[in-house]
């Protein structure tokens, strides 16, 4: 089996979407946790709607941008690249949905599941920040600082989204 190398620009675009989806999902689950009593079905519907809605919006925007700049619809390899880049917008729902499912099974309270999902996503931002810091060659202290800054900024953005939504 051969491995297909991903173009660095495509990989960067997908990572950007992954980070955006992570920040957005933090705001969704914090918003749900702060809304009072939410049941599993309502939480699932909200998380899925947010994830699918963002994904569809990204695909529509990408397709429109492609039409404007190239004069044609994206098909074949171009369309596959768009789908690859936007896939994290769908995948961002998986963790929260698993935790909501655990809550529905009685393993934890719904608020605990939602706040855990937010915490895991903040941890993800921290990990990506650390990875970026290491890739820049700054050493461990720089990587940890970069991770902490990315996690703090991502959390602040998510909280602004939550506050603006209420």
Sign of CA dihedral 10, 149, 128, 122: negative
Total of domains in the chain:
1
Indicate the pLDDT class of residue 163, thresholds 50, 70 and 90: confident
Whole-prediction pTM: 0.86
- Report how far residue 155's alpha carbon sits from residue 118's, in angstroms, rounded to the nearest whole number: 9
Q: For 96-115, write each residue's pLDDT tens digit.
A: 999 999 999 999 999 999 99
Question: Is residue 87, in this structure, part of any structural domain at all?
Answer: yes
Question: Is residue 78, in this structure, part of any structural domain at all?
Answer: yes
Question: Is residue 137, in this structure, part of any structural domain at all?
Answer: no
Q: How would you label 4-16 residue by residue, b for 16+ Cβ within 10 Å and e otherwise?
A: eeeeeeeeebbee
What range does the domain containing 39 cover? Answer: 8-115+159-163
Question: Is residue 131, in this structure, part of any structural domain at all?
Answer: no
**Residues 104 and 112: beta-carbon distance below 8 Å:** no
Where in 114-160 does DSSP place strands (E)? none
């Amino acid at each position: 089996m051969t491995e297909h190398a991903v173009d660095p620009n495509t990989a960067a675009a997908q990572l950007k979407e992954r980070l955006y989806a992570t920040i957005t999902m933090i705001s969704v689950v914090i918003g749900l946790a702060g809304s009072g009593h939410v049941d599993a079905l309502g939480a699932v519907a909200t998380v899925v709607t947010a994830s699918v809605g963002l994904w569809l919006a990204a695909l529509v925007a990408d397709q429109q941008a492609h039409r404007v700049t190239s004069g044609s619809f994206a098909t074949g390899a171009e369309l596959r690249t768009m789908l690859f880049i936007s896939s994290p917008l769908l995948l961002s729902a998986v963790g929260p949905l698993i935790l909501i499912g655990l809550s529905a099974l009685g393993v934890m309270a719904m608020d605990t599941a939602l706040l855990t999902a937010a915490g895991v996503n903040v941890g993800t931002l921290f990990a990506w920040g650390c990875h970026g810091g290491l890739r820049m060659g700054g050493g461990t202290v720089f990587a940890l600082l970069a991770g902490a800054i990315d996690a703090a900024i991502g959390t602040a953005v998510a909280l602004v989204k939550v506050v603006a939504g209420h």
